[in-house]
Amino acid sequence: MRIRTVIIDDSNLVRERLVKMLDAVPGIEIAGEAANSQDALKVIQDKKPHIVIIDIKIPGENGIEVLKKIKKVNKAVIAIIITNYPFTQYRANCFENGADYFFDKSNEYGNVVETIEGLVNSGSVEHVVNQW
């Protein structure tokens, strides 16, 4: 089984880097990418991902608003927040709205891939697969 992953970030460079890093993880499929909230919601509706990586600062609605909408549709989706704004209030707001993980882009970038590898290897994504 392939774990569908969607990357939402307005930086082409960030998306490309994550795609390259995640392509090396067995079982992961990059199902889609988006640079803004409107495209993000469309790709999530179309691709029904198991894991979503979301930047907080994106054009349109911010990543926290996108997170809320994702969790309203499917609470089981694993949401990983990545941001250059790792402030306490953002972290708390993300977790209150259903984020499963929260990483600072500047020094925790590698943790995103390690976390996803751990989820895949442990079978922790299986419950999401059954929710779509």
Q: Which domains does the chain have, with CATH numbers?
A: 3-54+73-85+98-125 (3.40.50.2300)
Calpha distance 52→2 (Å, rounded): 14
Task: Report which of 120, 125, 105 is spatially closest to residue 25, judged by C-alpha positions.
Answer: 120
Calpha distance 69→74 (Å, rounded): 9
With 0-12 CB in 10 A as exposed, 13-18 as middle and 19+ as buried, what is 74? Answer: middle
Task: Report which of 84, 34, 94 is spatially closest to residue 60, judged by C-alpha positions.
Answer: 34
53-77 mean pLDDT: 97
Name the pTM for this structure: 0.95
| Cβ atoms 99, 79 nearer than 8 A | yes
pLDDT tier for residue 115 given thresholds of 50, 70 and 90: very high
Residue 132 is predicted with a pLDDT of 62
Both tokens assigned to 95: 């977790």
pLDDT tier for residue 118 given thresholds of 50, 70 and 90: very high
